[in-house]
Structure 1
Amino acid sequence: MKPFQSRSRRLAIAVVLLIAALAAYRLFAPSNAGPRLLSVPVRVADLEETVLASGTIQAFDQVSVGAQVSGQLKSLKVALGDDVKKGQLVAEIDSLTQQNALKTAEAQLDNVQAQKKAKQATLRQAELAFERQKKMLDRDANSHADYESADATLAQTRADIAALEAQIRQARVSVDTAKVNLGYTQITSPIDGKVVAVVTKEGQTVNSNQSAPTIIKVAKLRTVTIKAQVSEADVTRIKPGQRVYFTILGEPDRRYQTTLRAVEPAPDSISDTSTTSSSSTSSSSSSSSAIYYNAMFDVPNPEGKLRISMTTEVNIVLAEAKQVLTIPSSALDKAGPDGRYRVRVEGPEHRIEERLVRIGMNNKVDAQVLDGLKAGEKVVIGEATAATSDSASSQRRGPPPMM
């Protein structure tokens, strides 16, 4: 029994070793599978080259409606979000001080006018006295001194009236100024628009002597302006009149279309006085930060969905082509001396054929094929081994669920 048991034990050990060897071979032996081609078909599609920029929505026109006189804000006629018309009363300031100033100016005008009337009566008396002295002098019935005194009194009276007329004009100016100041207590909207901010509340006191206090802000939102920041690397490629489309975060699938209106000649930093205080500071600042130029365009906003300060993703179209042959830009090799590019085409049974193609528009993602390929043919964009493919498949499946 012992020899038989010994042989059985050796046979079992041999089987276990064989199975282990096969497993080790499968695990560690190099794969004989060759590289697999990654290819995509040549397709017909629309192609465009764009400049990407980030923009901010602004009002087409915005006005800060302020007070030109001091006083307490007695009444606010509008609320945030209200639509207002040009000339509509939006606020009232306590006008008692301005009313008193107007009454004082009118009283001063009346006083000067009364003085003029009294002086005109004196003038009439002086004229009669002068005529009488003149006649008497012609008959040698009085002296030259009396005549000259009457003449001087007449001239003095006329001068007094002229001075009073000047005072009347001055008093009328004071009255007009007082009326204007009284009118300033009635604050009206200078434009049609929507109230986008209420800065001063009812009961607050405004002081126009220190600064121009703002009561409300009114903006035109039927049309809005987008100010997009374009990098200095792209700004030389854009110009007014180019087609623009953009999206907002709230509606990423809706495109708003318009045209580029203007490109500002200098960045916003030019208005910062700190950057112009010294050339060294300006140089260091410009070298350490990116430079952006504002591209501006307008778009109708009849639904009111576009609001001030919204962020937009802007595409400025430099060139576009409709329904052309396209391939991924990654399929292109370096351009030859004649400007043609070499591409690899996958034929039957995965055979690789090299061709020279002429390329038109190239936006670094897709390229337009002018000749050398046909729709449906497959171009090689890379190779992947089986291990790489398995790894990619594992990544596509994602990590195991967390427990």
Structure 2
Amino acid sequence: MIFRLLPKTRRGRLLLSLLLIVLLATIAWWLLRKPAAPPLATSPVTRADVEQTVDATGVIDAYRLVSVGAQASGQVRSLKVQLGDTVKEGELIAEIDATTQQNTVLKAEATLQQQRAQLAVQQASLRQAELDFARQQQMLAAEATSRQEYDAAEAALKTARAQIQANQAQIKGSETEVATARADLAYTRITAPMDGTVVAVVTEEGRTVNANQTAPTIVMLARLDLVTVNAEISEADVVKIKPGMPVYFTTLGEPDRRYHATLRQVNPAPASIANESSSSSSSSSSSSSSTAVYYNALFDVENPDGTLRIDMTAQVSVLLKQAKGALTVPSVALGQKTRDGQQVVRVVGEDGQPQPRRVKVGINNGANAEILSGLAEGERVVVGEGGSASASASSNRAPGMRMGPGMGGGGPRR
């Protein structure tokens, strides 16, 4: 049957042969063809601000925090302030029952008055002794008295003078006791040592305090118009920063608001040194090998509206380098470094094919890199293969975007 269906003419057989050849060539091409290369993920070269920072987690502290205590013992008769009140320096905060202190003042003043009266009597006696001695001198010169009476008058004069000196010394001691008693009486009126806000009320009205051993705290005052941020810098980053560097931070409540300041101080030793000094050397050496070391860096920030509060968490960034309006590409676009310090990127040409090119890189913060030479604005660089989630994320990241404290740059607050 098959042979019957074949064309009988020579021309028909030739056409059939050509059709078979085309069919076999198509099948061979389909079987031997290579799979198409996947599309490339690219990102344009744009101008943006790029910066390199040291990121850390910090805590907001009051610029000045004072525990206002009682130096006098007794019952807290009245408390003049409440939590959150703003007070001025010298303003009355609390009063302690002053009955005992007032009695002490009265007793000391009475003793002083008695000694001053005794001094007046002794001064009169001294005047009489001086007159007697002068009379004895005249009579002795006229040989109208004996030597014994003269010596007795002289001794009485010296005794009167000595008694006055002793009494004057007692008066000075009594005056000191009166001053001390009055000071103790003044301590029953507790006043603010500075302008500030009451951030804690430790002792309630009616409680009895004892100041014989330690001064009990009545309230705690803090200056909040200026706050101090205490940032914990890891030992790997502390060598990169120094006082005077610009710094900014955000809070968890307002992540889009930046507070700018200048780094004031970098402590030379970690805060844990106080605990380590009290432990044995062996335990210190073993703990230091397994525990991360952090150094405190301090800076001050104006807080006129009171938005920043004590113990808030701050996501801190210390600015190391910054370039404004620079040519930038995603850091993932950078390839290997060459011997001259440049790096290789793949640039998409007009034909759509990537070509390697050397570029000079400036700031590289891990998210974006500053390009000093080798690229032009608008060119596209390869950041990964198509279909890669990481490549797509890199190509879609906004120019100038950096990994901030809330995006993996800072550790958890300890």
Is the pair's TM-score, using the shorter chain for normalization, greater than 0.5? Answer: yes
Match of 1:9 in 2: none
Q: How many residues align?
A: 359
Q: Give distance in 2, aligned partners of 1:65 and 1:287.
A: 41
- Amino acid in structure 1 at the alignment position of 2:305: E
Partner SS for 2:255: strand
Which residue is 1:26 aligned to? none
State the secondary structure of the residue aligned to 1:335.
Answer: coil
Aligned twin of 1:311 = 313
Identity level (%):
54
Distance 1:54 1:119 in 2: 76
Structure-2 separation of matches of 1:371 and 1:125: 109
SS in 2 for 1:81: coil
Is residue 350 of structure 2 the alignment partner of residue 356 of structure 1? no
What residue is the counterpart of 2:409 in the other structure? Answer: none
Distance between the aligned counterparts of 1:354 and 1:338, measured in 2? 16
Q: Please tell me the root mean square deviation across aligned C-alpha atoms, in Å.
A: 1.8
Match of 1:149 among 144, 152, 166: 152
CA deviation after TM superposition for structure 1 residue 43, in Å: 1.1
1:239-259 C-alpha deviation (Å, 9 max, x unpaired):
122111111111111111111
Return the alpha-carbon distance in structure 2 between the equivalents of residues 172 and 179 of structure 1. 11
> Counterpart of 1:56 in structure 2: which amino acid?
V
User: Which residue in the other structure is 2:206 paired with?
Assistant: 203
2:10 aligns with none
Output the CA distance in 1 between the equivalents of 2:36 and 2:102: 99
- Which of 107, 110, 113 is matched with 2:110 structurally? 107
Answer whether contact 1:49 1:362 (CA < 8 A) is retained: yes
Q: Distance in 2 between matches of 1:187 and 1:92?
A: 6
Match of 2:258, SS? strand
Cα distance in 2, alignment partners of residues 120 and 279 from structure 1: 71
Deviation at 1:142, TM superposition (A): 2.2
1:283 maps to what in 2? 285
State the distance in 1 between where 2:244 and 2:139 align.
92
How far apart are 1:349 and its partner, in Å?
4.3
Aligned to 2:77: 74
Q: Deviations over 1:32-72 (max 9, x none)?
A: 44322121111111100011010111111111111111111
Partner of 2:45: 42
- SS of the residue corresponding to residue 272 of structure 2 reads helix
User: Please, which moves more after superposition, 256-265 or 137-146?
Assistant: 137-146
Contact 1:275 1:285 in 2 (8 A): no
Instruction: Using the TM superposition, give the Cα deviation of residue 136 of structure 1 relative to its aligned residue in structure 2, in angstroms.
Output: 2.2
SS in 1 for 2:115: helix
Q: Classify the secondary structure of the residue corresponding to 1:244.
A: strand
For residue 128 of structure 1, report the CA deviation from its aligned partner. Answer: 2.0
Alpha-carbon distance, 1:238 to partner: 0.9
Distance 1:267 1:276 in 2: 14
Paired letter, 1:343: V
Partner of 1:378: 380
2:298 maps to 296
Shift of 1:276: 4.5
Tell me which of 334, 338, 343 is aligned to 2:336.
334
Structure 2 distance, partners of 1:352, 1:138, is 134
Q: CA deviation at 1:176?
A: 0.8
Tell me if 1:240 matches 2:239: no
Assess if the C-alpha contact under 8 Å between 1:275 and 1:281 holds in 2: no
Residue 181 of structure 2 corresponds to 178
Q: CA deviation at 1:384?
A: 3.9
Q: How many Å apart are 1:132 and its aligned residue?
A: 2.3
SS in 2 for 1:344: strand
Q: Distance in 2 between matches of 1:352 and 1:147?
A: 129
Selected match of 1:56 from 59, 70, 74: 59
Alignment of 1:89-168 (within 5 A): 89-168=92-171
The residue that corresponds to 2:370 in the other structure is: 368
| Equivalent AA in structure 1 for residue 41 of structure 2 | L
Match of residue 220 from structure 1: 223
The one-letter code of the counterpart of 2:328 is T
Of residues 247, 251, 255, the one that matches 2:254 is 251
Partner SS for 1:170: helix
Q: 1:350, CA displacement in angstroms? A: 3.0
Report deviation, 1:373: 1.1
Deviation at 1:286, TM superposition (A): 1.5
Q: Which residue of 2 aligns with 1:398?
A: none
The question of 1:324 aligning with 2:321 is answered no
| Structure-2 separation of matches of 1:348 and 1:128 | 128
Question: Following the alignment from structure 1 to structure 2, what is the Cα–Cα distance between the partners of residues 164 and 111?
Answer: 11
Deviations, residues 313-352 of structure 1 (Å, cap 9, x unaligned): 0111101001111111111112111111111112234312
3-state SS, counterpart of residue 141 of structure 1: coil
CA contact (8 A) 1:231 1:292 kept: yes
Q: Which residue of 1 aligns with 2:196?
A: 193
Counterpart Cα distance in 1 of 2:141 and 2:245: 95
- Output the CA distance in 1 between the equivalents of 2:328 and 2:351: 24
Which residues of structure 2 form unaligned runs of 5+? Answer: 1-33, 394-414
Aligned counterparts of 2:260 and 2:297: Cα–Cα separation in 1? 15
Q: Aligned partners of 1:131 and 1:256: how far apart in 2?
A: 87
Q: What are the Cα deviations for residues 228-279 of structure 1, in whole angstroms up to 9, with x where unaligned?
A: 111111111111221111111111111111111111111111222x444432
Query: Residues 276 and 282 of structure 1 are in contact (CA less than 8 Å); yes or no, is this contact kept in structure 2?
Result: no
Aligned partners of 1:110, 1:102: CA distance in 2, in Å?
12
Partner letter of residue 216 of structure 1? V
The one-letter amino acid paired with 2:244 is G
The separation in 2 between residues aligned to 1:215 and 1:153, in whole angstroms, is: 59
| TM-score normalised by structure 1 residue count | 0.86
Q: In 1, Cα distance between the equivalents of 2:316 and 2:141? A: 99
Residue identity opposite 2:165 in structure 1:
A
Distance 1:84 1:64 in 2: 14
What's the secondary structure of 2:67's corresponding residue? Answer: strand
